[in-house]
Structure formats: structure tokens, C-alpha cells
Amino acid sequence: MRPKQWMKNVLLAVAPLAAGVILEPGVIVEVVFAIVAFCLTSSGGYILNDLLDIESDRVHPTKRFRPIPSGEFPARAAWPVAIALLVIPSAVAFIVGYPLFAAVLLTYVVVQVSYCIWLKHQPVIDIIVVASGFVLRAIAGAAVVGVPVTQWFLLVISSGSLFMVAGKRYSEKVRSAGSEELHTRRTLDLYSVGYLRFIWTVAATLTMLSYAMWAFDLNGGTSIGSIASIVPFGVALLLYAFDVERGEASAPEEVVLRDPKLFICAALWALLFLMSVLARLYGWELPTP
């Protein structure tokens, strides 16, 4: 079920936070419900992926120790668990009165199943599909609380997701250079290092520009906190790109935790962003020159 990957589902809180509704009555409960639903659903996708890759994982130097390929979690028990986790959360969401969120979650399920069965073997498409999972998380967070998303928000999330996924593939390619046994991704052998660098460079540029436009657009360009947050955001982006270039971003969920400078920049950005949201809610903002 890969609990470490559940960190990605914090993205569901971004839209409610940016919209300034996270502290309204009942919203936090809705966001937590959505995060739990995505944790369970994504876990079903991970189990399905391991079931379909069981033979190749058994000959992989590290993946062979995972519960399913190692036999610790028998396939006959894993199949019904995977199906239940993929189906039940979206069904419950629909029954309890969140049809739009259920639709987004079901879309995620269709995309994940398609990825596990076929799309992960299609070059370029595999990167886009993985990145779409982050975008769907952000949209789901907006859907569950009923807030709209702006074009800049979608651009930041989309380009940032593409940057992270392409950077992950780039790091995997660099680390596995000269040894195809270090990975089981068929598409990775089709990519060149230069092409993957091109993708994450373009995505990083678009992410920075989109975030800057979003920050200036918030509250009509008078939010000092959001504008100031561009600096730590940009520095964090450059630090992460440095890790990508060195081939150390094959596990994005661990990069921030092991890099103190990146962690500090991320924390500073989060603080400034939160301050800008609170200032917008309570009218604390001073006009920009």
C-alpha cells in the first residue's frame, strides 16, 4: 500500500487552502475524508501494479523484497484487496453526497488501471499519465469542498507535476546508466538523458512562470505575502532541480526530507503562502507600491 506515497495526497488541501475556506465549519472534515479516500484508492493502484509486475519484480535487485513478489502477501489475497480499494472509496463518496468528488476519484481509478495495464509501456504518455494523478488530486480537493480553480492554479499544478515526474525518470535513467537490471520500466530504455532533461527543464520554467503569475494575480496583485513567496518557491525549485541533475530525485517523497536547504525553503514558502491566505481573509494586507 506504500504509506510513504500517501504524502502526495496533501495536494487535496491546496485548493481549499488557497481559496481561504479551509477553516470554515466542516471543510477540514471534508478534506480529511477526501485524503483518506485517495490514500485507499491509490493503495489499490499500487497493489494492482505490483500484481501485474510480479514476474519482473521477482528478478529485480530491490523490488523482489516487496510483499507481493516476495510471497509475503499472496496474490490470491492481494487481488480482492486491490479491487475493493479501487472501487469502494468512490462508491462511498457518491453515496454520502459528493458526486463531483466521486467522479474525479473514479477518473483517477480509470487512469490508474489503464496505466498499470497498458499506458506505462507507452513512452511520453507514461510521464503525462503519472503527472495527471497529481492534477486530479488537486482538482479533487476543490471538488469535495465546492471551490473553483483558476487557470494559473491548474498551470502550476500541471507543470509542477510534469517537472517532478520527468525529474524522477531522469534520475532513474542516470542512476541505472550501464545496467538495465536496476529498473523494470520498459519505457526508460527508450528515453535518452537529453530528452528527459528537456522535459523537466521546460516544465520547471513553466512552473516558475505560472506560480509567479498566480502570486501576482491573487487579490488583484496586492498580496505582499503571496508575492514574497515567489522567492522561496523559486529557490526550492532550483534546489530540487539540482538534485534531479545529480540523479538523486528518483524518490521525490524523500528528497525534501533529506535536503535541509530544500526543506527550509519549502517551509518558508508554506509560511508565506499561509500568511497571504490569512491576510486576504482578515484584511491584513497592505497595498503594494
Alpha helices in the chain (DSSP H): 14-18, 27-52, 54-58, 67-70, 75-95, 99-117, 125-145, 151-175, 193-217, 224-228, 230-245, 252-258, 260-282
Residue 61 lies in a domain: yes
Mean pLDDT of 280-287: 61
Is there a single domain that holds both residue 27 and residue 108?
Answer: yes
Total domains in the chain come to 2
CA distance 289 to 284: 16
Confidence of residue 269 (pLDDT cuts 50, 70, 90): very high
Say if CB 31 and CB 141 are below 8 A apart. yes
Highest mean pLDDT among 191-205, 213-227, 257-271, 273-287: 191-205
Is there a single domain that holds both residue 3 and residue 144?
Answer: yes
pLDDT one-digit tens code per residue, 49-91: 999 989 888 887 878 888 999 989 999 999 999 999 999 999 9
Of 149, 183, 206, which closes a domain? 149
Domain that includes residue 52, residue range: 1-149
Of 102, 127, 149, which closes a domain? 149
Residue 157 carries which side chain, given as an amino acid letter? Answer: I
pLDDT one-digit tens code per residue, 105-126: 999 999 999 999 999 889 999 9
Is there a single domain that holds both residue 133 and residue 156?
Answer: no
Confidence of residue 288 (pLDDT cuts 50, 70, 90): very low
Of 97, 128, 149, which closes a domain? 149
Is there a single domain that holds both residue 10 and residue 102?
Answer: yes
pTM for the structure as a whole? 0.87
